[in-house]
């Protein structure tokens, strides 16, 4: 028997959270609801819940999806964030997607949410094959740092950095640095506006 998908729902509005929770629970997912107000409180929630996916509303004026992505990028890069909103303007959608949000689901279409979560988890599954050091090397390569700079920054030998990069390529099934950069951008390991 497989364990249910553990979803963390970051929501202020109880009515919306209940509707989303009912939809996901009926699909066999386990839902935890939290309202962190800072990076530190979100890190605490992450450590306690260890979610497979995070759902959030888009909120430019309080802790929301973009802030969650910033924390997850370093704490749990394999965990996707999906925005659930009434509507998202073009600018808001672009800023969410550039930050690394996996998908945006409109509240009127909550039936799409379980599939969106499963798809998002599947796209990020390859990251779980990497060690934390390999993720760090992938992030630095994608940011455009040279091998020597990465080695100095991580206090490793150039040979070790090259070995990590080779192992990352092998585990992700990629054959060049350009593919690594695209993948890192795609899953939000680095912000698109870097």
Where along the chain do its domains lie? 6-124, 130-186
Structure token pair of residue 57: 């509303």
Which CATH class name applies to 6-124?
Answer: alpha beta
Q: How many residues does the chain have?
A: 194
Residue 133: C-alpha distances to residues 20, 101, 151, 164, 176 (Å): 36, 23, 12, 8, 19
Q: What is the pLDDT of residue 194?
A: 55
Instruction: Please give the model's pTM, rounded to 2 decimal places.
Output: 0.82
Residue 189: C-alpha distances to residues 33, 180, 183 (Å): 25, 11, 8
* 10-residue stretch averages of pLDDT, the chain, 194 residues long: 81 76 90 87 91 84 79 88 80 76 86 91 88 94 94 95 95 92 85 64
Which CATH class name applies to 130-186?
Answer: mainly alpha
Range 10-41 burial, b when 16+ CB lie within 10 A, else e: bbeeeebbeebbebbeebebbbebbbbeeeee
């Amino acid at each position: 028997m497989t364990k249910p998908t553990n979803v963390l729902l970051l929501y202020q509005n109880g009515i919306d959270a209940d509707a989303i929770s009912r939809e996901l629970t009926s699909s066999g997912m386990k839902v935890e609801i939290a309202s962190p107000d800072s990076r530190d409180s979100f890190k605490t929630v992450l450590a306690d819940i260890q979610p497979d996916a995070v759902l959030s509303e888009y909120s430019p004026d309080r802790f929301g999806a973009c802030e969650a992505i910033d924390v997850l990028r370093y704490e749990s890069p394999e965990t996707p964030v999906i925005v659930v909103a009434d509507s998202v303007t073009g600018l808001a959608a672009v800023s969410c997607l550039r930050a690394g949000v996996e998908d945006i689901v409109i509240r009127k279409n909550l039936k799409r949410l379980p599939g969106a979560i499963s798809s998002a988890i599947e796209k990020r599954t390859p990251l779980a094959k990497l060690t934390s050091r390999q993720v760090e090397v992938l992030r630095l390569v994608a940011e455009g740092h040279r091998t020597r700079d990465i080695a100095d920054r991580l206090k490793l030998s150039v040979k070790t950095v090259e070995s990590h990069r080779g192992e990352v390529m092998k585990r992700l099934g990629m054959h060049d640095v350009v593919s690594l950069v695209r993948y890192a951008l795609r899953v939000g390991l680095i912000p698109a506006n870097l």
